[in-house]
């Protein structure tokens, strides 16, 4: 999740220290490279950038000495193009007259790069941030003024992004918003724009919230908003914000876990845009189709996504796939591997040691390794023959939420493609996720008082919701410290039913096709005095038999599991807070496990 910051000042000043400090305040978003650019009244651009953390790169490249009247700093989280000095942002146009940086994904990056190269532009990287600069350059070279060039470039760039750009010979910066966050601020003698609030707060608390389809024009004396659609001026009052720095980093949410749950619709939307435009999806599908045996390998949350993925692949593509925990892959399957076998290794961080060890053992036996990962430039990326990104941005809270969502969505996308089905219906998911958050969070609050004192409960699912039950149980264990066991609902009667006593809570995650089967399990619990909590679409059978029903929007059997995980995440979060724990940093756990 990249971060951008731009500033325009009334007179030439030492912008380097200002840009470095702004970058530090954006660093919580996660990044792999950093760069600064300043524009001076004399018509020069000073651009310095490289891979690494901001303090190290700033010291090595002497950011502190950079001066000018306009400045841009960008922290890059790689999606298009591996982390490298060339792919680091900001970027120049062909002649060095424009400089800009972006936050987000331009999903037609490959096509536009090829077009720009064919038109004779100097393209120095594979990064979509550079594509934004050339998209503006194309119209500037045709004689259009900057505002009109930006309006026209906006129509060429597909995806969700925000972008800031400056031109030699002007005393302005321009920024525009299409999906990704953007906020502007006004201070004495300066105008500022940024991906989000933390980098602006040290300068001012007078801000403008930029909306999609708007261009921000920053001058030393003020800020102007224009509509991309027709260039017309937008009138909007500045607001005075009261957030602390910590509040601003969390976007006003009390914890990062809650913020990241709410980010899931946006991240799902970005993933779908990315995959729709990516030539790498088809290549991944062909490799998976041609496998002698196909293994889906992960740990923890990623393993639960693999279980769901295996069910999707069987159902939609008629393709058996073997989901397996990474440490068990070595003793159980590696001795039987050979050429033609394919492993899809799944990891949020790309550094999980169990996953990397499993990959290495498989490759030694002739297995072809593929990757599904969130961190571009991670070890897993470099060890795979092909990979797909998860496009989640940085996930700060230790419990995985949006990374699981996009892993599950990626598997569903691949399964549809492998089976020759349309993926168009998947574009309902972001809106359905938003509806689910709005509908289920209030329904969870009445459950919290009754469950906060429970140290033992079960979470059951069947078919497509079985992996969701496992993931929900893991979230409960991680952040509430209560023992919650995830299980196949039909297995519950084979022993664990003996645990049920008066008031004992059992959560049933129910797909729309499985209601009759789940109702039987519900009654096995309720007739013994247990408390049955159902999560599913509105159904009179669930309503009549369960004590509580958390209602999901109607989405059908394939999309239902993606929605069902949301109330489980929210319930775990609410219970963690009610029990007095910090859900972002559970005891004994770390985000990335790099030890045996």
In this predicted model, what pLDDT tens digit does every residue of 306-325 receive, in sequence order? Answer: 999 999 999 999 999 999 99
- Evaluate if pTM is beyond 0.75: yes
For residues 275 and 401, state if they share a domain: yes
Q: Does residue 428 fall inside a structural domain?
A: no
Q: List Cβ neighbours of 455 (8 Å cut-off, separation of 6 or more).
A: 482, 483
Quick one: 480 and 516 in the same domain?
Answer: yes
Q: What pLDDT is stored for residue 585 in this prediction?
A: 87
Q: Where are the alpha helices (DSSP H) in 27-95?
A: 54-61
Distance from the Cα of residue 142 to its chain's centroid: 37
- Among the three residues 249, 276, 298, which one is the final residue of a domain in this structure? 249
Domain boundary among 249, 282, 304: 249
Token pair 């992960």 is found at 298
Total domains, the chain: 3
252-286 tens-digit pLDDT: 899 999 999 999 999 999 999 999 988 899 999 99
Catalytic residues: 2, 591
CA 382 to CA 376: how far, in whole Å? Answer: 9
Would residue 362 count as lying in a domain?
yes
Side-chain half-sphere of 242: how many Cα atoms within 13 Å? 0
Residue 215 to residues 174, 211, 212, 266, Cα–Cα distance (Å): 7, 9, 9, 21
531 shares its domain with 559: yes
Report the distance separating Cα 422 and Cα 412, nearest Å.
Answer: 11
Taking the C-alpha atoms of residue 153 and residue 123, their distance in angstroms, rounded to an integer, is 17
C-beta separation of 196 from 179 below 8 A: no
CATH of the domain at 554: 3.40.50.10490
Range of the structural domain that residue 50 is part of: 3-249
DSSP H stretches of helix in 187-250: 245-249
Q: In what order do the strands lie in the sheet with 386-389?
A: 322-325, 294-298, 342-347, 368-373, 386-389
For residue 592, the model assigns a pLDDT of 55
Residues 195 and 261 reside in one and the same domain: no
Question: What span, in angstroms and rounded, lies between the C-alpha atoms of 345 and 350?
Answer: 9
Q: Which residues of the chain have pLDDT under 50?
A: 594-595
Q: State whether 14 and 52 are in the same domain.
A: yes
Query: Residue 454, by phi and psi: left (phi above 0), alpha (psi -120 to 50) or beta?
Result: beta
Structure confidence at residue 593 (pLDDT): 54
d(CA 76, CA 105): 11
273 lies in the same domain as 347: yes
Indicate which CATH number applies to the domain containing 151.
3.60.20.10
Closest CA to 341 of 366, 314, 311, 313: 366
Residues 35 and 50 in one domain: yes
């Amino acid at each position: 999740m990249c971060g951008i910051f731009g500033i325009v000042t009334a007179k030439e000043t030492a912008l380097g220290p200002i840009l470095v400090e702004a970058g530090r305040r954006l660093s919580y978003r996660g990044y792999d490279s950093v760069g600064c650019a300043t524009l001076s009244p004399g018509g020069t651009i000073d651009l310095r950038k490289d891979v690494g953390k901001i303090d190290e790169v700033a010291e090595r490249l002497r950011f502190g000495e950079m001066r000018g009247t306009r400045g841009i700093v960008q922290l890059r989280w790689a999606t298009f193009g591996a982390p490298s000095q060339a792919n680091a942002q900001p970027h120049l146009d062909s002649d060095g007259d424009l400089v800009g940086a972006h936050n987000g994904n331009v999903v037609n990056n490959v096509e536009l790069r090829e077009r720009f190269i064919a038109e004779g532009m100097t393209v120095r990287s594979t990064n979509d941030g550079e594509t934004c600069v050339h998209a503006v350059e194309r119209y500037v070279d045709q004689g259009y003024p900057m505002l009109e060039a930006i309006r026209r470039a906006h129509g060429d760039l597909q995806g969700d992004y925000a972008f800031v750009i400056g031109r030699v010979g002007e005393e302005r910066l321009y920024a525009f918003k299409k999906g990704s966050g953007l906020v502007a601020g006004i201070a004495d003698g300066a105008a500022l724009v940024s991906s989000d609030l933390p980098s602006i707060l040290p300068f001012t608390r007078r801000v403008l919230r930029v909306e999609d389809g708007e261009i921000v024009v920053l001058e030393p004396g003020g800020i102007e908003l224009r509509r991309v659609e027709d260039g017309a001026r937008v009138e909007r009052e500045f607001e005075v914000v009261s957030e602390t720095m910590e509040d601003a980093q969390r976007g006003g949410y009390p914890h990062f876990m809650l913020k990241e749950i709410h980010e899931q619709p946006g991240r799902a939307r970005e993933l779908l845009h990315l995959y729709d435009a990516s030539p790498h999806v088809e290549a991944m599908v062909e490799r998976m189709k041609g496998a002698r045996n196909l293994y889906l390998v992960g740990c923890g949350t990623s393993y639960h996504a693999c279980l769901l993925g295996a069910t999707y692949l069987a159902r939609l593509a008629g393709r058996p796939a073997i989901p397996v925990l990474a440490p068990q892959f070595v003793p159980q399957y590696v001795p039987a591997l050979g050429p033609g076998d394919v492993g899809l290794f799944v990891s949020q961080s790309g550094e999980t040691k169990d996953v990397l060890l499993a990959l290495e053992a498989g490759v030694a036996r002739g297995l072809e390794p593929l990757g599904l990962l969130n961190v571009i430039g991670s070890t897993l990326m470099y060890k795979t023959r092909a990979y797909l990104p998860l496009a989640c941005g940085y996930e700060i809270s230790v419990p995985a939420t949006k990374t699981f969502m996009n892993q599950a969505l990626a598997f569903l996308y691949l399964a549809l493609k492998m089976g020759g089905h349309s993926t168009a219906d998947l574009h309902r998911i972001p809106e359905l996720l938003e509806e689910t958050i709005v509908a289920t969070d209030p329904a969870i609050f009445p459950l919290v008082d009754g469950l906060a004192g429970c140290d033992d409960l079960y979470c059951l699912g069947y078919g497509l919701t079985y992996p969701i039950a496992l993931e929900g149980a893991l979230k409960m264990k991680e952040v509430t410290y209560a023992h919650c066991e995830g299980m196949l609902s039909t297995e519950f009667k084979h022993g664990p039913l003996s645990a049920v006593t008066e008031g004992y809570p059992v959560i049933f995650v129910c797909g729309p096709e499985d209601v009759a089967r789940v109702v039987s399990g519900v009654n096995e619990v309720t007739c013994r005095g247990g408390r049955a909590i159902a999560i599913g679409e509105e159904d009179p059978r669930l309503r009549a038999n369960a004590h509580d029903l958390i209602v999901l929007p109607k989405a059908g059997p394939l999309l239902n599991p993606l929605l069902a995980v949301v109330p489980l995440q929210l319930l775990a979060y609410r219970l963690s807070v009610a029990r007095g724990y910090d859900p972002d940093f559970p005891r004994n756990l770390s985000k990335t496990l790099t030890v045996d």
